[in-house]
Structure 1
């Protein structure tokens, strides 16, 4: 038996025992304050014991428990005994059924219990309360039923909220992984495509230069695979074995693009106050990488410039070229992905044509020091 199940059985057993003692003691005094009711006798004590002991299995068999408790309480009331702790047994049984069963079966069970205990209002000893006796009896069913419905709805709302939160987290994680893979694979394939076109163009006329382009393809594909492995390793939660790239990798990125036919000048202004937070370092690198990939794929530019500026509490990035300019077209998500990266860190990114021709991407990222 599992620990939680054992605790549940123990808890319900202790509740039943405590309620049995409480009812036996307090009902005697209740009878003294309710003139016209029967004094406790052997039959009343048996009915009280049956109703209380049945609660020991209320969560295991809620409907059976309610049926037993209802029968005992109905017999108790028909016998003309005083209202007392036995009614608490009915209250708990109705509540348990309401939270354990779907709403419609719970309502049917509670309604049947209400009808059963209402019989005493019409078949009492020595006359009886009649219709007036229905009100207090109904309250012991209606009130716990209403409370149980409220608790049930609250639990269902909480469960839906947890499910929605888990779904949002999963969606965000998928988007993050997709963005990482897009940046890594997109950059590598763009460089390889450019180098392959160069190799095809030079293959027959200048085979020695075509060989250099093919060598660059081999080197770029290996570097891209290594970075993709590092990204997937980090996604799996084992980032300690393969650190994610950062701005320190920009010289290597510049060299790869130079081999792909896009010279890139890199300027750095200022000094960081200390090591950049990992998220900022990665986002900055990915923004520069994606911006240069767009230049390589779309701009038709012969060169590009990257400027990194360290300021107190901020990091600024700028990537410019003198290519075709204009707004990039097609189904790509590069600029949107860069904006999302910047926004996720509380920064902002702008991208658009330059007045004198070409394209400019500028990002400002806050740097929060711990």
Structure 2
């Protein structure tokens, strides 16, 4: 247990007082002096030793007080006790507390005063010879030097402690940042996986209910229900597959980074567009340039961007047609993804007919019925393209994915519809691959 500084100083002062008192009593056992001189000597001992209780608060003042007590004590007292110990400790403390110039000055004054005092003594009456004076000079210099060394050591240990605390705080900050980034990554992954599939299930079931309400005959109803349940089953199966893959990554968080292709990627783009078609969208895919193998993080990000874009179309618009374009650009080392929809009619047809002009233009009335029905049923979504550009976490999540890989993504209204335009690098640095 470490004592408080003031308590420690008081304890040291008491021990020094005890040592000086015992030594004085033992050495002066056979010495006789008058009571006033004895009382004055003991008073000087109390003052010199008691001042040590304040040696770290006022080091220079305490050193001066102990020195003056010694100057008065030794000529007056017959006991000749070791009161010099108090001055030695005070001189050391002065240097250790960073008052090196004051400590050196006090040591020089002490040595000069002792030398002059002995020089004025008559021959044969000197108390200190040249050898003792040289030893005193060595002791004084040693006390100042040791105090200075202690000061340097204390400053070094303090700096090391501060550096260790700073490194610990930095490590904690990095750990919090890593945990935050990982939490956001997991949230984005689950949003993309569950948001897309649940939206498709909602659209498919809504379309089925809408058709059943308009075609009550048993044979047509059975066909419609079968088609809807088949689509829902396929969609939910894909959702479970991707969810298991995501949870598998979380369970293996302490393992090495996987090098195998991700569970989802552009290789599954056909299945993704097929599910969107089953929900009532007319999805067309265009590929320009020569495809190249993508790093797993880029491949997954490209898939998620297309997936989230199609989800936004089914949830937040009445569009009936979507074009997914993959443009491989070997000169710039990027792949460009462009997902554009036709906007559709943001409001339900006033006459209650299926699809209105949109279905007549595209020739896919049955599919548009389902899309329009799900749009009618979803009262929490905004079908405005402008609102899609500024609201929700989907677009923001896609942009974060692209930026994490060193790419870019823009999204907004264009040509009466909504366009998501992303550019992703076809190669990654190790740092980008880790952050992704």
- TM-score normalized with structure 2 length: 0.55
Q: Aligned with 2:291: secondary structure?
A: coil
Contact 1:315–1:364 (Cα < 8 Å) also in 2: yes
Could you tell me which residue of structure 2 aligns to residue 336 of structure 1? 396
1:253 aligns with 2:313: no
CA deviation vs aligned residue, 1:322-359 (integer Å, no higher than 9, x gap):
015622358620111111111111111111111x2111
User: 312-321 or 129-138: which moved more?
Assistant: 129-138
Secondary structure, aligned partner of 1:203: helix
TM-score (norm 1): 0.64
Higher-RCO chain (CA-CA 8 Å, sequence separation at least 6): 2
Other structure's SS at 1:268 match: strand
Match of 2:416? 357
CA drift of 1:186 comes to: 0.5
* d(CA) in 2 for partners of 1:287, 1:269: 18
Q: Give, in whole Å, the separation in 1 of the partners of 2:328 and 2:54.
A: 71
Q: 2: CA distance between counterparts of 1:222 and 1:215?
A: 11
Match of 1:140 in 2: 96
- Between the aligned partners of 1:317 and 1:212, the Cα distance in structure 2 is 31
Q: Give the Cα–Cα distance (whole angstroms) in 2 for the partners of residues 191 and 234 of structure 1.
A: 25
Is residue 213 of structure 2 the alignment partner of residue 193 of structure 1?
no
What residue in structure 2 maps to residue 294 of structure 1? 312
Describe the SS at the equivalent of 1:318: strand
Match of 1:217 in 2: 232
Once the two structures are superposed, residues 47-99 of structure 1 have per-residue CA deviations (whole angstroms, 9 ceiling, x without a partner) of xxxxxxxxxxxxxx6659x969x969x86xx99xxxxxxxxxxxxxxxxxxxx
Unaligned runs of 5+ in 2: 21-52, 76-83, 99-150, 345-383, 430-436
Indicate conservation of the 8 Å contact 2:402/2:424, yes or no: yes
In the aligned structure 1, how far is the partner of 2:194 from the partner of 2:410? Answer: 23
**1:178 aligned onto 2:190:** no
The equivalent of 1:231 in structure 2 is 246
2:182 equivalent to 1:164: no
Aligned partners of 2:180, 2:428: CA distance in 1, in Å? Answer: 29
| 1:220-268 per-position Cα deviation (integer Å, ceiling 9, x unaligned) | 1111111111122123337579933111110110111111111311111
1:33 corresponds in structure 2 to none
Post-superposition Cα deviations, 1:15-70, rounded to whole Å, max 9, x if no partner, equal xxxxxxxxxxxxxxxxxxxxxxxxxxxxxxxxxxxxxxxxxxxxxx6659x969x9
Greater displacement, 155-164 / 177-186: 155-164
Count of matched residue pairs: 277
Task: Indicate the SS of the match to 1:327.
Answer: helix
**Equivalents in 1 of 2:92, 2:272: separation in Å?**
81
| Structure 1 residue 136, shift from structure 2 partner | 4.1
- Alpha carbons of 1:194 and 1:149: their partners in 2 closer, same or farther (altered >3 Å)? same
Report the Cα distance in structure 2 between the residues aligned to 1:318 and 1:110, rounded to whole angstroms.
Answer: 78
Q: 1:315 — aligned with what?
A: 335
Measure how far apart 1:363 and its partner are. Answer: 0.5
Q: Output the CA distance in 2 between the equivalents of 1:232 and 1:110.
A: 65
Given that residues 198 and 210 in structure 1 are in contact (C-alpha distance below 8 angstroms), is that contact kept between their aligned partners in structure 2? no
Q: Distance between the aligned counterparts of 2:409 and 2:55, measured in 1?
A: 61
1:272 corresponding residue in structure 2: 291
Residue pair 1:199, 1:211 contacting (<8 A) in 2 also:
no
Q: In the alignment, which of 153, 161, 173 is matched to residue 152 of structure 1?
A: 161
